[in-house]
């Protein structure tokens, strides 16, 4: 079996320059093994897809599921969310993490109401212009909700391509132009197949071609995988970027916001002071939350989630 080459060989020299040999096995595998997730059901609609994409940014599926259901039940349309204060979005976000996403989702809902008549736009550029929507999310909504043909490059897809095509255990830390070019090259020509391919490659990365212990025995393209053919070499070079957390401002921000999420009553400074004993860092974290719009300072040293 021949590996799919990512190198810049002339098309005539490559047996499968567009990777078409990968499409059928990956999509067939997806048809047989895809998870039944609520945002994949037809009734989810574009808004359901968009909400799920915001929540799934850096947060695992299992933690998203209950919050997603509550969110859609409470705010079934963008205008429903836009009608409430941003602080309610932050409160409903719960412990999903990165609460700025809640603020941005609220802002996206407001923009959808104002600029798009309350309907999630279909156009990639219009999606990209919404707060909190980057290259990945715009492509994902356009592809999953509207069946369009866009390269969808998330961490799962990048890992699948790095292994199957690039022969490496992991993709680069930051997405490269070469990865974008490869994703465009591998994208099936017709819209419905391209949309299927996007979902299928993501699912393959999430369920089989996982970061730590890939289950190659269940992989539909194991025989084509460049990384396997190279003997599954371990990652070498600089260490992959890790994230520290304990003792950082992020941890303090999380504790402060948890207090404010727990009550609709404005909270005195003295109460917030109890979550962290180092005053300089504590003040810096609270200032950061205020400047991010996640916390609203009131007169008299009181704080609450933002009403505006």
Q: Phi-psi category of 303—alpha, beta or left, where left has phi over 0 and alpha has psi -120 to 50?
A: beta
Contact indicator for 111, 104 with CB cutoff of 8 Å: no
The interface with DNA within residues 130-169 (CB under 7 A) comprises: 131-138, 140, 154-156, 159
Exactly one of 17, 97, 293, 297 binds DNA (CB under 7 A); which one?
Answer: 97
Catalytic positions are 53
How many CB atoms sit inside 10 A of residue 30's CB?
19
For DNA, which stretch binds (CB under 7 A), given 2-10, 81-89, 242-250, 273-281? Answer: 242-250
Strands laid side by side in the 296-298 sheet: 267-268, 302-304, 296-298
Smallest distance, Å, CB 146 to DNA? 15
Exactly one of 41, 60, 181, 268 binds DNA (CB under 7 A); which one?
Answer: 60
Smallest distance, Å, CB 18 to DNA? 24
Q: Calculate helix-pair angle for 191-207, 135-144, nearest 10 degrees.
A: 120
Place of tokens 């269940």: 218
* Alpha carbons 225 and 161: distance in angstroms, whole number: 9
Does 33 interact with DNA (rule: CB under 7 A)? Answer: no
For DNA, which stretch binds (CB under 7 A), given 15-23, 72-80, 238-246, 262-270? Answer: 238-246
Exactly one of 58, 70, 232, 263 binds DNA (CB under 7 A); which one?
Answer: 58
Distances (CA, A) of 275 to 93, 99, 258, 267, 282: 20, 18, 10, 13, 8
Interface residues with DNA (CB under 7 A) are 37, 39-40, 52-53, 56-61, 63, 95-100, 104, 131-138, 140, 154-156, 159, 173-174, 202-203, 205-206, 210-213, 239-243, 245, 248-251, 253-255, 257-258, 288
């Amino acid at each position: 079996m021949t590996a799919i080459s990512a190198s810049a060989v002339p098309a005539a020299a490559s047996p499968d320059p567009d990777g078409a040999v990968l499409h059928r096995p990956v999509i067939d595998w997806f048809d047989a093994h895809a998870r039944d997730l609520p945002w994949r059901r037809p009734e989810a609609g574009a808004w359901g897809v968009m909400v799920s994409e915001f929540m799934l940014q850096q947060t695992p599926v299992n933690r998203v599921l209950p919050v997603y259901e509550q969110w859609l039940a409470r705010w079934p349309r963008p205008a429903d969310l836009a009608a409430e204060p941003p602080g309610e979005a932050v409160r409903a976000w719960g412990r999903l993490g990165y609460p700025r996403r809640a603020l941005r989702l609220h802002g996206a809902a407001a923009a959808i109401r104002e600029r798009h008549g309350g309907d999630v736009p279909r156009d990639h550029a219009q999606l990209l212009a919404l707060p909190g929507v980057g290259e990945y999310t715009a492509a994902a909504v356009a592809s999953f909700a509207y069946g369009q043909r866009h390269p969808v490059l998330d961490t799962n897809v990048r890992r699948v391509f790095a292994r199957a095509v690039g022969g490496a255990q992991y993709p680069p830390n930051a997405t490269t132009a070469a990865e974008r070019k490869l994703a465009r090259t591998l994208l099936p020509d017709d819209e419905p197949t391209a949309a299927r391919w996007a979902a299928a490659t993501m699912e393959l990365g999430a369920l089989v071609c996982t970061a730590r212990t890939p289950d190659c025995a269940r992989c539909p393209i194991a025989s084509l995988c460049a990384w396997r053919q190279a003997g599954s070499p371990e990652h070498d070079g600089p260490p992959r970027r890790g994230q520290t957390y304990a003792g950082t401002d992020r941890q303090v921000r999380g504790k402060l916001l948890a207090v404010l999420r727990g009550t609709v009553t404005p909270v005195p400074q003295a109460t917030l002071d109890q979550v962290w004993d180092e005053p300089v860092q504590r003040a810096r974290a609270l200032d950061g939350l205020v400047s991010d719009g996640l916390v609203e300072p009131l007169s008299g040293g009181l704080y609450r989630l933002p009403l505006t």
